[in-house]
C-alpha cells in the first residue's frame, strides 16, 4: 500500500480529507500537522485508531524535518493543506503567513523534488483558495484562467505558493495539480470563521459582528463535498491542471447571518427574530473583497463532481453538529479563540 502525505490534516478541511482517504482504504495515510490553534486532533478522534493511519507532529517550515520525513517514506503523493488561513490574522501579522504559506510550501516542494527524482508516478496536490483571484463585481465568476489579483496578505501568500508550485512543475518537471475552492463550512470549523462564530455567539447571547453593512458576497461549499472533490482530483485530475471547486451558492453575509439566526432560534426554542437582535455591524475589514463566486464547470464536466447538499440543508447539519459536540467547541474556545475575539471584534463596535 502506497504512502500518502497529507499536510494540515488536523485542521478543518484537512481532517475531512484525512477521513475521506482513510475510509477509501487505498493508502497508508501520514497526517503531518504542527497543531497550532486551528489544528486539533479531536477532529480525527473517530479514525485515530484506524489501520494505515499515522499522525506526525511537525512544521513544514523545518526543512531538515521534511527531508528526514521524505527519506523515511516513499510518498506516492502529497496533498498540501497546511496553511495560515484567516484574513484578519494576516492583516495583524503578515510575516506568519509568508513563512508558513510561502516558505513552508517551497520547503515541501524541495523535499518532494529531491525524493521523487527519476520517478514520474508521483503527484503534488496543492489546495488553494478563490481569494487569489481578487474581488468580483456584481456579475461574472472566477475561472481557472482568471488572472491573479490578491487583495490581502493572506491571499497574496496563497497566490505566491500557487505560483511556486507551477514554477516547480515547469522548471523541474514536478508532477502537480492545484485546486482553488470557495468558502467552506461544516463540522469541526474553528470558531473564528463566520458561521461557527455566529453559532457560538448566538448560543452565548453575544454580539454577532458583521463587517460593514454585511453586503459582501461569498460562495459557500460544504466541507465534505470539498473533501470528495479533492479525492477525485487527486485520483483522476490531470497533471499541471487547475480545478475550481465551488458551491454554486452565493450569499450576502447579512442574509446568511439572518438565516442562521432563524435556524438557531428554532433550534433553541426562541421566538423568531430573537437572535437577529444580536447582530452588530462593526468597522469593515481593511481590503475587504466585495464578492467571490466560483465557476466550477470544469470539474463537473471533466470529473463529474458537483455539490451534494443545498445550502440550507448543509447549514442545518452544521448547526446540529455543533449542538451535538459541545465538548469539542468548549475545548477549542477555551483559550486562543476567546482572547482573539475579545481583542479583534469588541473594539470595532
* Catalytic hit among 27, 154, 176, 211: 154
CA dihedral 71, 95, 16, 7 (to 10 degrees): 0
Question: Is residue 131 annotated as a catalytic residue, yes or no?
Answer: yes
Q: Report yes or no: 222 and 308 within 8 Å, Cβ to Cβ.
A: yes
* Catalytic hit among 131, 144, 162, 258: 131
Residues 159 and 149: their CA atoms lie apart, in Å, by: 8
* Catalytic hit among 33, 59, 84, 130: 130
Residues 220 and 181: their CA atoms lie apart, in Å, by: 9
Question: Is residue 176 annotated as a catalytic residue, yes or no?
Answer: no
Q: Report yes or no: 41 and 35 within 8 Å, Cβ to Cβ.
A: yes
Q: Which residues, other chains included, contact 249 with Cβ-Cβ below 8 Å and sequence gap of 6+?
A: 182, 219, 220, 221, 307, 311
Question: Is residue 322 annotated as a catalytic residue, yes or no?
Answer: no
Residues 78 and 174: their CA atoms lie apart, in Å, by: 12
- Report helix angle 194-203 to 311-324, nearest 10: 50
List % helix, strand, coil for the chain (3-state, nearest 5). Answer: 45, 20, 35
Residues 165 and 175: their CA atoms lie apart, in Å, by: 9
What positions carry a catalytic annotation?
Answer: 130-131, 154
Amino acid at each position: 500500500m502506497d504512502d500518502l502525505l497529507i499536510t494540515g490534516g488536523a485542521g478543518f478541511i484537512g481532517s475531512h480529507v484525512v477521513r475521506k482517504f482513510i475510509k477509501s482504504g487505498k493508502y497508508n495515510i501520514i497526517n503531518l500537522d504542527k497543531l497550532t490553534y486551528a489544528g486539533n486532533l479531536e477532529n480525527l478522534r473517530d479514525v485515530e485508531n484506524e489501520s494505515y493511519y499515522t499522525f506526525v507532529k511537525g512544521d513544514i517550515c523545518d526543512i531538515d524535518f521534511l527531508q528526514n520525513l521524505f527519506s523515511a517514506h516513499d510518498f506516492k503523493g502529497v496533498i498540501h493543506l497546511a496553511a495560515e488561513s484567516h484574513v484578519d490574522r494576516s492583516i495583524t501579522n503578515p510575516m506568519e503567513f509568508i513563512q508558513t504559506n510561502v516558505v513552508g510550501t517551497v520547503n515541501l516542494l524541495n523535499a518532494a523534488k529531491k525524493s521523487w527524482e527519476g520517478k514520474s508516478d508521483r503527484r503534488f496536490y496543492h489546495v488553494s483558495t478563490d481569494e487569489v483571484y481578487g474581488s468580483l463585481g456584481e456579475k461574472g465568476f472566477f475561472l481557472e484562467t482568471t488572472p491573479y489579483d490578491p487583495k490581502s496578505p493572506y491571499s497574496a501568500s496563497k497566490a505566491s505558493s500557487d505560483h511556486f508550485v507551477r514554477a516547480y512543475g515547469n522548471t523541474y518537471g514536478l508532477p502537480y495539480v492545484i485546486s482553488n475552492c470557495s468558502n467552506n463550512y461544516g463540522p469541526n470549523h474553528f470558531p473564528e470563521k463566520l458561521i461557527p462564530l455566529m453559532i457560538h455567539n448566538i448560543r452565548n447571547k453575544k454580539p454577532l459582528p458583521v463587517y460593514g453593512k454585511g453586503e459582501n458576497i461569498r460562495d459557500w461549499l460544504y466541507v465534505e463535498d470539498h473533501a470528495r472533490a479533492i479525492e477525485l482530483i487527486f485520483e483522476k485530475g490531470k497533471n499541471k491542471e487547475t480545478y475550481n471547486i465551488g458551491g454554486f451558492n452565493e450569499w450576502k453575509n447579512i442574509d446568511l447571518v439572518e438565516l442562521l439566526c432563524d435556524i438557531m432560534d428554532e433550534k433553541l426554542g426562541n421566538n423568531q427574530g430573537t437572535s437577529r437582535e444580536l447582530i452588530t455591524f462593526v468597522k469593515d475589514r481593511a481590503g475587504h473583497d466585495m464578492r467571490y463566486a466560483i465557476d466550477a464547470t470544469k470539474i463537473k464536466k471533466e470529473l463529474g463532481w458537483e455539490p451534494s447538499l443545498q445550502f440550507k440543508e448543509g447549514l442545518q447539519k452544521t448547526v446540529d453538529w455543533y449542538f451535538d459536540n459541545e465538548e469539542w467547541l468548549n475545548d477549542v474556545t477555551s483559550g486562543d479563540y476567546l482572547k482573539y475575539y475579545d481583542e479583534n471584534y469588541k473594539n470595532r463596535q
